[in-house]
Structure 1
Amino acid sequence: MDLLQKTTESNMKSQLLVFLSLFCFWTVISEQMPKSINTEEGLPEDVLRMIAQADIRSINDLEDLLGIEAKDSPGFKPMYKIEYSKPAGCKTRIVTVEVPRYKVDPTSVGFLLWPSCVEIKRCSGCCNTKTYQCIPVHAYYKPFQIAKVTYRYGRNELTIHTVSIREHVSCNCTELARHQPRFPPKYYRQTTDNN
């Protein structure tokens, strides 16, 4: 029994050492990667920033910005007339939002809301690169009158409530925060001297 237990502990220690070695290796390698290259896009940061901040409305605009001409992909043969895609730019759009029941009555569940959903403006659309995100710049809470129907003591009751739902006024493509390491770099570095 003792021999089996020692063998198991030895295997676990070996697996832990392998895991820690791989973790340290990955940490050192990731610190040495060039900072000017965005690994997700494979393009230099200055090019990504230039594309992200430009007003690009067509492929021709992109060609002009980069100073290159677009080519068809190899083997591409259109079977019908193709229109160039237009970006779904970052702006407010009317969307349907369900009225939050807790804003009418957080203590009960036995009621009906009318209307149960409303149309409001929300930011949506894509930015030119994944490092930027479409977010609201200005917003306010828009009031809606909502009817609450309940059934109590054998009869229906109807009450009117005012519910405020956040509506976006304007949007902007904003750069996402860069990922910061969980621990400072000195935590990962190991000294070579035997002190």
Structure 2
Amino acid sequence: MDLLQKTTESNMKSQLLVFLSLFCFWTVISEQMPKSMNLEEGLPEDVLRMIAQADIRSIDDLEDLLGVEAKDSPVFRSTYKIGNSKAAGCKTRIVSVEVPRYKVDPTSVGFFLWPSCVEIKRCSGCCNTKTYKCIPSVANYRPFQIAKLTYRYGRKELTIHTVSIREHLSCNCTELARHHPRFPPKYYRQSTDN
């Protein structure tokens, strides 16, 4: 019995050492990697903010905003008109949203809803940089009449319910919260004074 117990303890210690080695390896490698794999990180914050909040509808608009001319191949400029690329800007768009069944009846699953989807305005689009996100600035709940069909004791039963679904009225590009590590960087560094 002692031999089996010693073998099990030895295996557990080996597994723990492998785990700790992998953890140390990952922390050393992650320290050497750039803090963020974001390709936009080399740009100054004020430039990113200016680009994110601007209404850029074409490459020409971007050139005007930055005060620079885009470098491209001469063949491209002569063949294609620069500035005809359109961005899907941050705004409300009509989308199809599934009616949440729990809002009609949270206690049952055996029923049919009509309509099962409704059209409603939701924020979508891009904000020119990855540090900003298109989110609703004003929203309210819009009521919809939904028919619920159930079949009980051999009888069909049709009831009408009012369901409120959140609708976005206007949108803004808003800066995302920055990710902060759980532990300070000094926690991961090993002392060189050994």
User: Structure 1 length as normaliser, TM-score?
Assistant: 0.78
Change (3 A) 1:82 1:151: farther
CA RMSD of aligned residues (A): 3.4
Matches within 5 A, 1:26-105: 26-29=29-32, 39-46=38-45, 47-73=47-73, 76=76, 84-105=84-105
Which AA in structure 2 matches 1:188? Y
Q: 2:91 touches 2:170 (CA, 8 Å); kept in 1?
A: yes
Matches within 5 A, 1:1-195: 15-16=18-19, 18-29=21-32, 39-46=38-45, 47-73=47-73, 76=76, 84-193=84-193
Q: CA deviation at 1:12?
A: 5.7
Q: CA deviation at 1:72?
A: 2.8
Change (3 A) 1:39 1:92: closer
How far apart, CA to CA, are the structure 2 residues paired with 1:74 and 1:97? 46
Helix, strand or coil for the counterpart of 1:44?
A: coil
How far apart, CA to CA, are the structure 2 residues paired with 1:38 and 1:184? 19
Q: 1:38 touches 1:44 (CA, 8 Å); kept in 2?
A: no
Q: 2:91 touches 2:124 (CA, 8 Å); kept in 1?
A: yes
Change (3 A) 1:88 1:39: closer
Helix, strand or coil for the counterpart of 2:109?
A: coil
Identity of aligned residues (%): 70
User: Structure 2 length as normaliser, TM-score?
Assistant: 0.79
How many residue pairs match? The answer is 188
How far apart, CA to CA, are the structure 2 residues paired with 1:106 and 1:167? 22
Q: 1:136 touches 1:170 (CA, 8 Å); kept in 2?
A: yes
Residue-by-residue CA offset, 1:64-119 (whole Å, 9 max, x unaligned): 12222123348759988887111111111111111111111112122111111111
Change (3 A) 1:134 1:12: same
The runs of at least 4 aligned residues of structure 1 exceeding 4 Å deviation read 7-18, 73-83
Q: Please, which runs of 5 or more residues in structure 2 have no aligned partner?
A: none
How far apart, CA to CA, are the structure 1 residues paired with 2:141 and 2:175? 25
Q: CA deviation at 1:43?
A: 3.1
Residue-by-residue CA offset, 1:139-185 (whole Å, 9 max, x unaligned): 11111111111122222111111111111111100111111112123
Which AA in structure 1 matches 2:163? V
